[in-house]
Amino acid sequence: MAVTSETVIPQLERLLDPDMLSGLTTRPLEQLRRIRVECSQVESDISLVRRVSQGRLDIVGHESTRRSGAGGSDADTPVLFDLPEILSDGPAPSGSTPGARAVSVGAPGEVAAELVKSLDTMASPSALSNIETLSDGDLRELFERIRSFEVEMSSIRRQLHERIDAIQSEIGRRYRDGEASVDSILG
């Protein structure tokens, strides 16, 4: 995982470990529930960071479009004046993952804080505030760095959803097969 090579995030690495799902049928129900909650919390962090990266990607893309004169953008208008339009919930940015689930973002956790630090090293808010000063080559490079980061966040998010779904499926199977009962939750 490229994102965590500089900033190690042990919790995320543990949840994405290929062996994390092995032995689901033999694990205690309470452990499955804890892992499902943990995966959901980290997925929420990833979703938040992904949205932040998409916003930054939109800003860089808008600047590129503004410079080209395409899309009716005025080349003399600073990006700052277009931020409300850029950051509104419009179509997904070019290069984002199609068919993604709806995003429900909670309060950011430690994983989000660490990943935002990684994002800030490649595309900090201060760098974006001076985006007009970047050369066309630097702008393209910045776009590609952010796009790669966003694609990686999408991939991680998908992997977490696969884990959540597998755990939920095993919990549901136990209730269907009578291995677990609702009474055990209430009692």
In the chain, where are the structural domains located?
Answer: 33-87+103-178
Rounded Cα gap, residues 18 and 156, in angstroms: 12
pLDDT digits (tens, 9 = 90+) for 70-126: 666 555 666 665 665 766 765 544 554 554 545 555 578 889 999 999 999 999 888
Please report which confidence band the pLDDT of residue 4 belongs to, taking 50, 70 and 90 as the band edges. Answer: very low
pLDDT of residue 151: 96
CB 158 within 8 A of CB 98: no
Confidence at residue 166, expressed as pLDDT on a 0 to 100 scale: 97
pLDDT for 154 equals 96
CB contact at 8 A, 160 and 45: no
Query: pLDDT at position 162, please?
Result: 97
Return the higher-pLDDT residue of 181 and 184. Answer: 181
When pLDDT is averaged across residues 151-180 and rounded to a whole number, the result is: 94
Give the confidence band of 167 by pLDDT, cuts at 50, 70, 90. Answer: very high
In whole angstroms, give the CA distance from residue 95 to residue 131.
20
Mean pLDDT of all residues in 41-58: 93
Portion of the chain with pLDDT greater than 90, in percent = 55
pTM: 0.77
What is the number of alpha carbons within 13 Å of residue 171 lying toward its C-beta?
Answer: 17
What pLDDT score does 101 carry? 47
Is pLDDT at 66 greater than 50 in this prediction? Answer: yes
Q: Residue 142 pLDDT more than 80?
A: yes
What pLDDT is recorded for position 187?
47
Instruction: Give the pLDDT confidence score for residue 94 in this predicted structure.
Output: 52
CA distance 108 to 14: 19
